[in-house]
């Protein structure tokens, strides 16, 4: 009798770890709190990091129990990146199913016209859609660009300004591919045919559009600005666009463009060199791309931004100099 009692007690104690594990896995953190919460998994997170975050946010009873169950069930490598809706009434199997088989929630971010690669990279990181450094590296990968049909050493100019919806923690290359897909909706077969009729390559059109984008924010003036640049290119005059010099200066630009800056030795300096710069200086929007392809009919060779969104166009240097002098005098008053 004594021996049977001892065996029974030993059996109970032996079963305790299994019962404890079952409790931690099968019983949710709460039986009453059904409020949905958003749980984010960043790209590259390990199982241990996911388990630790779930535990920290009281989404599971034990990080160790979650990690062990994920390994035993074979789902360790199947946890997705993104935002997922879970509740504290879900047990470990239910939470794991949500993170492996559920659909990640989508959020949106907007890329403004005229942003550069690095500005977009900072934006997507700030909004939680990826890592800025990885985005910048991917956006300057010539092999990746070629794989998406972009004949350039980077995606500068082709990351189309638009509102995009994706899951947070998305792969940076997937976001770039999404932007290129939108770009192709604008620069389509008709645009390619129009570029050919102008004697321009797609890349030349994008370069020109990027300069137009930086020169004026007024869609109604973009076609006239484009006409100035087309006229200059035809006559062999340098474009003399300040935004190209600013792009060439990079972090050395302090907000004040000097005569010395205009002498900067760079393939992007359109004061020092004739023709288009080596590549785009920003990512232009639909209006700038259209203006580059369809410039207004004009004989203008000069323009000056006079403030308040107003641009003054001139056909001769004398007219341009008078307009510039009047603008300077008006600012001084």
Q: Rounded distance, CA 191 to CA 208, Å?
A: 14
* pLDDT number for residue 1: 52
Find tokens 């003054």 and name the residue.
312
* pLDDT number for residue 333: 65
Res. 144 pLDDT band, cuts 50 70 90: very high
Which residues does 157 contact at the CB level (< 8 Å), separation at least 6? Answer: 203, 206, 207, 209, 210, 279, 280, 282, 283, 284
Once rounded to an integer, what is the mean pLDDT over residues 26-50?
Answer: 83
Kindly report the CATH number that applies to the domain delimited by 106-186: 3.30.1490
Summarised one tens digit per residue, pLDDT across range 197-231 is 999 999 999 999 999 999 998 888 999 999 999 99
CATH of 23-100, one of 3.90.1150.10, 3.30.1490.480, 3.30.1540.20, 3.30.428.10: 3.30.1490.480
Closest CA to 154 of 199, 116, 195, 113: 116
Res. 332 pLDDT band, cuts 50 70 90: low
- Give the residue range(s) of CATH 3.30.1490.480 domains in the chain: 23-100
Residue 37 near residue 67, CB atoms below 8 Å: no
């Amino acid at each position: 009798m004594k021996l049977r009692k001892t065996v029974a007690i030993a059996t109970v104690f032996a079963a305790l770890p299994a019962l404890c594990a079952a409790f931690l896995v099968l019983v949710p953190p709460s039986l009453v709190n059904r409020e949905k919460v958003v749980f984010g998994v960043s790209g590259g997170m390990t199982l241990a990091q996911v388990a630790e975050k779930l535990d920290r946010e009281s989404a599971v009873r034990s990080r160790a129990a979650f990690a062990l169950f994920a390994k035993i069930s074979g789902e360790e490598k199947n946890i997705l990146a993104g935002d997922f809706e879970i509740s504290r009434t879900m047990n470990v199997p239910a939470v794991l199913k949500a993170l492996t088989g559920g659909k990640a929630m989508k959020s949106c971010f907007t890329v403004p016209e005229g942003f550069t690669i690095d500005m977009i990279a900072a934006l997507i990181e700030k909004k939680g859609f990826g890592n800025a450094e990885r985005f910048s590296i991917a956006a300057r990968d010539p092999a990746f660009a070629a794989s998406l049909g972009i004949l350039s050493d980077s995606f500068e100019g082709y990351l189309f300004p638009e509102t995009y919806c994706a899951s947070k923690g998305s792969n940076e290359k997937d976001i770039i591919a999404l932007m290129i897909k939108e770009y192709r909706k604008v620069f389509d077969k008709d645009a390619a045919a129009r570029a050919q009729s102008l004697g321009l390559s797609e890349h030349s059109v994008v370069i020109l559009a990027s300069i137009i984008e930086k020169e004026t924010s007024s869609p109604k003036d973009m076609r006239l600005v484009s006409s100035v640049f087309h006229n200059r290119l035809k006559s062999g005059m340098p474009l003399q666009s300040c935004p190209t010099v600013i792009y060439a200066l990079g972090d050395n630009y302090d907000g004040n463009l000097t005569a010395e800056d205009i002498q900067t030795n760079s393939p992007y300096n359109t004061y020092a060199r004739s023709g288009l710069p080596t590549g785009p200086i920003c990512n232009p929007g639909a209006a700038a791309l259209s203006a580059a392809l369809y410039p207004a009919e004009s004989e203008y060779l000069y323009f000056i931004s006079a403030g308040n969104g107003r641009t003054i166009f001139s056909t001769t240097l004398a007219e341009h100099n008078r307009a510039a002098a009047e603008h300077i005098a008006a600012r001084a008053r």
